[in-house]
Amino acid sequence: MAFPFMEAVVGLEILMYIFETYLHLRQHAALKLRTLPKTLVGVISQETFEKYRAYNIDKSNLRFVKQFVTIIIDSATLLFGVLPRLWKVKSGDIVESTGLDAENEIYQTLAFLACVMYWSQITNLPFSLYSTFVIEERHGFNKQTFWLFIRDMLKGMTVAIVLGPPIVAAIILIVQKSGPYLAIYLWGFIFVLSLFMMTIYPVLVPPLYNKLTPLPQGELRTKIETLASSQNFPSKKLFVVDGSTWSTHSNAYLFGFSKNKCIALFDTLIQQCTNEEEIVAVIAHELGHWKLNHKIYSSVGVQILILLLFGGYTLVKNSNDLFTSFGFDTQPVLIEFILFQYTIIPVQHLVSFDLNLVTHAFEFQADAFAKKLGYAKPLRDALVKMQVGNLSEMNTDPWYSVYHYSHPTLLERLAALDEPHNKAD
């Protein structure tokens, strides 16, 4: 008898769901704690803390519902063979109705993906609407109007519609045309694509959502420029991003390549950090990521993972049992990828957990970098203010945060900044 791949995948997903719900329950209990963490006593008022607590408990409740609905839909999709039916019936029909060749795998794949995208938008919509217009609204956090919300959703779909088809078509052609070195060709394609995305994407896409204006001349600009040139940062392009139109989340980031590097700070960061030193400290942290080559290390790591992934894919793609188990009698490229991805769910969770550990280490290193430049105190203040501005969780469960968060928690970062000696030294 053939191995019941599909049933095994559903079983695994349910096990993961139970495990993650257990972590979530731990986190929920931490959120309900009425006591301010020791590090924040005197820094945050009890009133602010209560505001936080209420907001995050609301969000956590919504997450319980969403995870539950997701696992039901995902399991039902697999158990009732929705994917093979969608592939055979719907996608073929759609292609035929446009007058194109229904047997063409590329057209059929695109139609299939369009259906999947449409469906996931529909199932996601109630949650994102509720989150933005009920929860965020109730806690005075939402600045988005319904129109802005719809416009952003449409923009996101447009980006996917413009970028998706050529990439999908290229991947299908590569799989169809290349022989034994398939994994290498696929990796090469993704590598070139990611270089392209890293240069083009930050220049083209954020301006669709946000307005970038040059930071005006003044003390703040001079301070940032002095810091940047002391670290040999190769550019003087400084932008303010109008994040405040959307929400009060605050941040700063670097983007662009070699000589075209830019520093962008959200206007919300400028509003929240009343002291200019604090903003400079946040930039010092970002410069730390750049100086310590964190982006390069993580890109190399990701490239190796992708190569391994494609290697694994070429091993699995010819397993007939796998396809029959999921109800497919043909082996289209996209379906090969989707089924392969199901078979590596456990590995995927382990890898993303390991990646979290790496980014945790990077955050501590960037903080230590800013600390070495003498920004420990203002960085500390800025982190607290950003946390308050973002209304993020204050009390967190250590298991939950190490499993889910790419960044260390505020408390962990403050503790590291307060240590007399840097961890990184």
Which residues are catalytically annotated?
A: 286, 367
Angle at 270 between CA 264 and CA 273, to 5 degrees: 130
CB of 153 to Zn ion, least distance (A): 28
Type of residue found at 128: S
Of 332 and 408, CB closest to Zn ion = 408
Longest dimension (CA), the chain: 74
Closest C-alpha among 268, 280, 293 to residue 228: 280
CB of 289 to Zn ion, least distance (A): 6
Of 215 and 368, CB closest to Zn ion = 368
Of 31 and 366, CB closest to Zn ion = 366
Q: DSSP character for 115?
A: H
Q: Strand locations in 48-181, DSSP E? A: none
Structure tokens, 362: 């990077």
Structure tokens, 357: 């550990």
Of 333 and 382, CB closest to Zn ion = 382
- 264's enclosing H/E stretch is strand 262-266
CB of 420 to Zn ion, least distance (A): 22
How would DSSP label each residue in 169-209?
HHHHHHHHH--TTHHHHHHHHHHHHHHHHHHHHHHHSHHHH
Residues that bind Zn ion (CB under 5 A): 363, 366
CB of 386 to Zn ion, least distance (A): 11
CB of 224 to Zn ion, least distance (A): 17
Closest C-alpha among 66, 75, 55 to residue 20: 66
Of 5 and 364, CB closest to Zn ion = 364
Q: DSSP character for 140?
A: T
**Phi, psi for 184 (deg, rounded to 5):** -65, -45
CA distance 112 to 106: 10
* Beta pairing, strands 212-214 & 237-241: antiparallel
Closest C-alpha among 399, 353, 409, 408 to residue 23: 399
Helix axes 294-316, 345-372, angle to 10 degrees: 170
CB of 109 to Zn ion, least distance (A): 37
Of 16 and 198, CB closest to Zn ion = 198
Of 131 and 251, CB closest to Zn ion = 251
What b/e sequence results for 393-402 when a residue is b if at least 16 CB atoms lie within 10 Å of its CB, and e otherwise?
bbbbbeebbb
CB of 254 to Zn ion, least distance (A): 10
Distances (CA, A) of 223 to 24, 26, 252, 258: 42, 43, 15, 22
CB of 293 to Zn ion, least distance (A): 14
Of 171 and 379, CB closest to Zn ion = 379
Residues β-bridged to residue 38: none
CA distance 135 to 152: 19
CA distance 58 to 63: 9
Q: Is 279 exposed, middle or buried (0-12, 13-18, 19+ CB in 10 A)?
A: buried
CA distance 396 to 269: 24
